[in-house]
Structure 1
Amino acid sequence: MTRSILSGLLGLLSVVAMASLPSACESGGVGDPCLPEDEYDPQFAGFKVTEENIESRSFQCQTRICLVNHFQGRVSCPLGQEAPPTCNPDQPGTCTSCQLSGTYAPDCDGDAQCISGDCDEAGGFCRCSGDQDCPTNWSCRGGVCQLHICRDNITGCQDPTKSAEENAGKACCVPGTEDPVASPVCGQCAGDSDRNAEQAVYCSCRCGVAENEKKEDYPNFNFCECPQGFTCSEIRPNVGLGDPNITGKYCIKQGSEFTGEQACGKVQGRYNSEQCEGNP
């Protein structure tokens, strides 16, 4: 697992905030906007419209559930972006401003688990011995793989509360900062597609079990009632993998059921046929 100071801070905030939140059975706050924690990772390229994501320990939602219901891109970056160029701080002249974007140090218990054959057992992570031990475009510095990106052409950060005209030409950034995202990001689906952030990413709650299951199978779980304007719909079937307590049905906005990737419509912003669903 990649180690990150940011992830550690987010985890601490989550634990502190969760202590004052109600259990998942409450429906208060359903429909409130939420920002998935994945978006605080500068290497995260965004969600795929063909998938769903259920963040079950969200400190932003009264229900503790932040639902990403077949959404494309990043909530915090409506138009997406091309990947910013990488740079090497040891090779001056490649760009004026070469900024550290992320570090990569997989967990390990012994040397055999590391590509480099060098496990820092005291720290529990793999040390790199050269760039060959790092992902493409990353460099080994001080025994840790690092990614640097060039900020020369970055003129600001996109804001989900702004119009497309105001966001044009701006970068995807880690929410709450001016740190640019290092990955290419697809633009969000069309505003009338029910797959954009407003219609597909919000606080929700588990209102029922998966098809072919019975509520009696979960005697200690209090399911919620969906408020007006929402319907109880299966989001994650129980296929025997992962936590069964987050499978089943969730409250979603009426009329927003996922009907297939073709529902994305005209993409707002960056479109790449190999990475993005929808139409340019």
Structure 2
Amino acid sequence: MAIGASFIGGSCGPAGVGDPCVPEEEYLTDFPGFNESEVNVESRSFQCVTRVCLVNHFRGRVSCPYGQSEETAQKCSTDANACRPGSPEHEISCRVPDRDGSELTDRVKIGIQPQYDNRKARDTVYCSCRCAGPDPNARYCECPSGFTCEDLMADLDIGRGQLAGSYCVIDGTSYDSTSSQGDDCSPTKGNCGYTVGSGSEKRGVNPPNPAIAADSI
């Protein structure tokens, strides 16, 4: 993913840090979702005032917290009459952001893992900014209250053009690969925002974390 020169040379303040964002990859119907062992930095996000959408050790898709099985994916992506809004399959299927799944072209074609309830999207996917880095001539932001400047350099795949350095992350959300990330998000439990039947228009919404929302405005 390319990095704009204006971002590298410019500064970014705390305004907008913590705002929710949906990575552009999620608009692809064959995108399998993110892996919790990785960090992803989208450096040209037009959803963010900071232009940075950070994915910090998150699993799945922001737009589909409960994921979907391979069986559901096969049915929904090949049968135009299945998985339409209002159907039982609709509530357990994934589609691209901002679409209701009425059209086959908007339905995710592959199985998607659910999010972890201890690393839900609102705690791990949001607008951020680079607060430190290896370039002594670059300008960095100052993290607002409720955020910590965390070194993610070792996690970044520099070969893909992502920007090395430290980013503002929500306090208390540092990733520990040796610890449990919680239970799978389950539509029957409704442990990741919304239960089945609450309305497909709400399924997959990534609301701001209430603990930091006020400080991020």
- Normalised by the size of structure 2, how large is the TM-score? 0.70
- Kindly state the Cα deviation for residue 24 of structure 1 after the two structures are TM-superposed: 5.2
> CA, structure 1 residues 86+181, in 2 after alignment: closer, same or farther (shift >3 Å)?
same
Q: Does 1:241 align with 2:159?
A: yes
Q: Does 1:33 align with 2:20?
A: yes
Aligned to 1:75: 62
Q: Is the 8 A contact 2:16 2:49 kept in 1?
A: yes
Query: Hey, which of these two has a bigger chunk of strand by percent?
Result: 1
Secondary structure, aligned partner of 2:180: helix
Q: Does 1:176 align with 2:98?
A: yes
Aligned to 2:35: 48
Per-residue deviation, residues 25-67 of structure 1 (Å, max 9, x unmatched): 2321000000110000011111111111100000000000000
Aligned to 1:196: 120
Aligned-pair identity in percent equals: 39
Per-residue deviation, residues 191-225 of structure 1 (Å, max 9, x unmatched): xx2x110100000000011xxx4x42xx1x21000
Secondary structure, aligned partner of 2:53: strand
Secondary structure, aligned partner of 1:39: helix
What amino acid does structure 2 have at the position aligned with 1:154? C
- Equivalent residue runs for 1:232-271 within 5 Å: 232-237=149-154, 241-243=159-161, 246-260=163-177, 262-269=179-186
- Kindly state the Cα deviation for residue 155 of structure 1 after the two structures are TM-superposed: 4.1
Higher alpha-carbon Rg? 1
Aligned to 1:92: none
Aligned to 1:156: 85
What amino acid does structure 1 have at the position aligned with 2:183? K
Aligned to 1:224: 141
Q: Structure 2: which 5+ residue stretches go unaligned?
A: 188-217
What amino acid does structure 2 have at the position aligned with 1:207? C
- Kindly state the Cα deviation for residue 242 of structure 1 after the two structures are TM-superposed: 4.1
Alignment coverage as a number of residue pairs: 173
> CA, structure 1 residues 167+182, in 2 after alignment: closer, same or farther (shift >3 Å)?
closer
> CA, structure 1 residues 29+208, in 2 after alignment: closer, same or farther (shift >3 Å)?
same
Q: Indicate the RMSD between aligned Cα atoms, in angstroms.
A: 3.0
Aligned to 1:187: 114
Q: Distance in 1 between matches of 2:89 and 2:78?
A: 21
What amino acid does structure 1 have at the position aligned with 2:181? C
Runs of 4+ aligned structure 1 residues displaced above 3 Å come to 84-87, 166-169, 238-244
Q: Distance in 1 between matches of 2:121 and 2:73?
A: 27
Secondary structure, aligned partner of 1:233: strand
What amino acid does structure 1 have at the position aligned with 2:110? S
Aligned to 1:140: none
Higher relative contact order (CA 8 A, sep 6+): 2
What amino acid does structure 2 have at the position aligned with 1:199? D
Per-residue deviation, residues 11-32 of structure 1 (Å, max 9, x unmatched): xxxx9xxx9xxx5523210000
Per-residue deviation, residues 130-161 of structure 1 (Å, max 9, x unmatched): xxxxxxxxxxxxxxxxxx6224431439xxxx
Q: Distance in 1 between matches of 2:109 and 2:39?
A: 23
What amino acid does structure 2 have at the position aligned with 1:260? S
Q: Structure 1: which 5+ residue stretches go unaligned?
A: 1-14, 88-98, 100-147, 158-165, 271-280
Q: Is the 8 A contact 1:156 1:171 kept in 2?
A: no
